[in-house]
Amino acid sequence: MNFGNNPPARNVRPFSEDAASSMTDTEKPWHQVVLETLKKNDVRLVPYVPDRVFTPLIQALHADTFFTTFPCTREEEAIGIVTGAHMGGMRAAVLMQTSGFGTIPNAIASLVCPSQIPALIFVSERGTLGEFNLGQAMVCRTMRPVLDALGSETHAITRHDELAFIVDRSIKQAIATQAPVTFILSPLLTGGKVFAA
């Protein structure tokens, strides 16, 4: 799978902005709602750690010249980039999966929170609903308590009809209060990772 600066060629019809403009948020795919909400809030930089669940969002971000998006080797690296972007006056978000979240509590506690960085952290939730990987399940069970202990705003999003509202309002709050927010996107929203039987 290619996650470089050019979106991979696929037999998937691109989601056009013309088609999107005539659809309501609940008619659009979840990844298009996220992309449009980021754009509406002038979030231009999106580093990520490659993830199968986020693949349609990653491809859409690469295809849209409004965004600068690129893969990172580790989640802490992406958090550092988002922090630097904020200090340089640019709004940024990061994409990762549940297990990757397990690597960033120190970066949140020692860098993001005390420096008042409005980091926008999107996590594709693994570790539930048929998960086979114990590591994913362990981080899934500890992710929310860790975020609560850090006093970080967190939203687990399961419903498509609430997605645009929660993401839009939470971005505005993060920027106004100079505090991070984590969006945990449930498999109930994204469809999750498909497991072989």
**What CA–CA distance (Å, rounded) separates 96 from 74?**
9
Q: What DSSP designation does 172 have?
A: H
**What CA–CA distance (Å, rounded) separates 193 from 127?**
10
Question: What is the tens place of the pLDDT at every residue in 54-107?
Answer: 999 999 999 999 999 999 999 999 999 999 999 999 999 999 998 889 899 999
Summary mean pLDDT of the chain: 87
Contact 118, 180 (CB under 8 A): yes
User: The domain 30-190 belongs to what CATH superfamily?
Assistant: Thiamin diphosphate (ThDP)-binding fold, Pyr/PP domains (3.40.50.970)
Most distant CA atoms of the chain, gap in Å: 47
Overall average pLDDT of the 125-131 stretch: 73
How high is the pLDDT of residue 125? 87
Which tokens hold the place of 88? 């340089």
Domain ranges of the chain: 30-190
What is the reported pTM? 0.85
Contacts of 69 (CB under 8 A, 6+ apart): 45, 46, 47, 48, 58, 61, 62
